[in-house]
Amino acid sequence: MFSPRDKHHIPLVSLGPSVFSESTKSAEKVIQLLRCDVLKNGKIVRDETLWIQGNKIVDGATLFFAGVKPDQVIDLGGATAGQRRPLVVPGFIDVQINGYFGYDFAEQNKLEEGLDVVAKGLLKYGVTSFLPTVVSSLPQTYQEVLPIIDAKRGRRSGHAEIIGAHLEGPFIAPCKKGAHNIDYFRSAPNGFADLIECYGKYLDPSSSVQKDDNVVKIITVAPELEGMLGAIEGLKKEWGDKIAVSLGHTECNYEQAEKSVESGVTMITHLFNAMHPFYHREPGPMGVIGFSSLPRNTKKPFFGVIADGVHTSPSSIRVAYNAYPEGAMLVTDAMAGAGLNGDEFMLGSMHVERKGPMEVVIAGTNTLAGSVATMPFCIANLVKFAGCSLAEAVNAATITPAKSIGIYGKKGSLMPGADADFVILDQLSDADESAFRVARVFFAGEEVFTVA
């Protein structure tokens, strides 16, 4: 807890806990972070000063010349032998969360409560923005769930921000179903019209839905399904970059994957999992991230990886990361069992059970059913698996996911104009690049978590 300095009337706080009165939480409160190591534009800037005004990162020079003084100063200059100065990074973004803390986002009867509980609970892991992900379901489920998610979007005090929804299925391959219920699977013989029929008004360009900020942010599809390439082209024609199409749960070969990128696919859902494996004569989806360029000036897609040590081997993650580090995007693929100590959970309509500390499978099988990993755990693992720096691993949980859904600059950044969502990491070690702790979390300029 801080104590005011009478001379300047500025609270000076260390990395320890702080408590504010309601009057100090005004929209225009100014916070100054001194002697920071800050992750800016993907690189660590040493001995920096970071300014926050209200809910935004601001240019300190502008405040200085305007004569604005901080209401609170946080000095991060301290470090102990063998440990580095705390590092300030953007808030983490998870674009694939099926559930958490006992809640599944496909259960509409508990969805409102679940979204609130998960949005609050994720903050302690440094996750300040996320996409609730709905697995393969009946059209009625999507059409009931999406309005609920839509109503929960936006900035809410003490909650990680719900950016929108990730629809993972039901347009996926039966042979790569993973933990999805095959009874719900569909193809798209009528192209984009079949997507509208399934997902409802949020994809219908003739509806009253705002085109500039659709609740649907990502749709995962298998591009080899009947009519799917035409469906992708139709969706991109109507929605452009407002909705990302991701390749996943697919048996497509390299040629089909390349054609899907030409049609509008910009992402790959949990690379390696539930898809055609990499072979030297047939690289499958992995092949599209290994080329320096693709036909027709298309860009290599971003790709999600679940770095929990179970879904994908460390060697495979190393190969993929080094092929295209700027495209690597950490996702937890968390399901309802994440954050809990139990052994039996639900994923959509599927019963799942814990088989190990980080391994959850469909009951009675060895089929993986989502993850129970946290984002900090995945970040640390990416450092270990890929041999990258901590800063590079954090980029995969901030910059890359923000870019993948078109919100970089507002999220995933600590440059002026960005939302003041940031995490202070401490216990960094010169001897172990993967070592860190989420010490404090700020959302929209408000401190929402302090480690005990």
Q: Which residues contact 199 (CB under 8 A, 6 or more apart)?
A: 139, 142, 143, 146, 167, 216, 219
Please state, in angstroms and rounded to a whole number, the distance separating the CA atoms of residues 265 and 36: 39
Locus of tokens 């390439």 = 229
**Angle between helix 139-151 and 192-199 (nearest 10):** 70
Q: Active-site residue among 333, 419, 421, 426?
A: 333
- What does each C-alpha distance from 37 to 75, 79, 265 come to in angstroms? 11, 12, 36
Sign of the Cα pseudo-torsion (203, 206, 209, 212, in order):
positive
Tokens for 280, please give them: 């030297």
Please state, in angstroms and rounded to a whole number, the distance separating the CA atoms of residues 150 and 345: 26
CA angle 155, 157, 162 (to 5 degrees): 40
How, if at all, do strands 165-168 and 216-221 pair? parallel
Please state, in angstroms and rounded to a whole number, the distance separating the CA atoms of residues 215 and 153: 8
How, if at all, do strands 244-247 and 43-53 pair? unpaired
Establish whether 333 is a catalytic residue.
Answer: yes
Contact 217, 161 (CB under 8 A): no
| 384 C-beta neighbours (distance < 10 Å), count | 17
Please state, in angstroms and rounded to a whole number, the distance separating the CA atoms of residues 74 and 85: 13
Q: What is the DSSP string of 263-304?
A: HTEEEESSTTTTBPPP-SS--GGGGGGTSS--GGGPPPPEEE
**Angle between helix 192-199 and 228-239 (nearest 10):** 70
Please state, in angstroms and rounded to a whole number, the distance separating the CA atoms of residues 398 and 292: 24
* Beta-carbon-side half-sphere exposure of residue 11 (alpha carbons within 13 Å): 19
- What does each C-alpha distance from 315 to 42, 89, 318, 385 come to in angstroms? 24, 27, 5, 7
Tokens for 35, please give them: 């002697």
What residues are annotated to the active site? 333
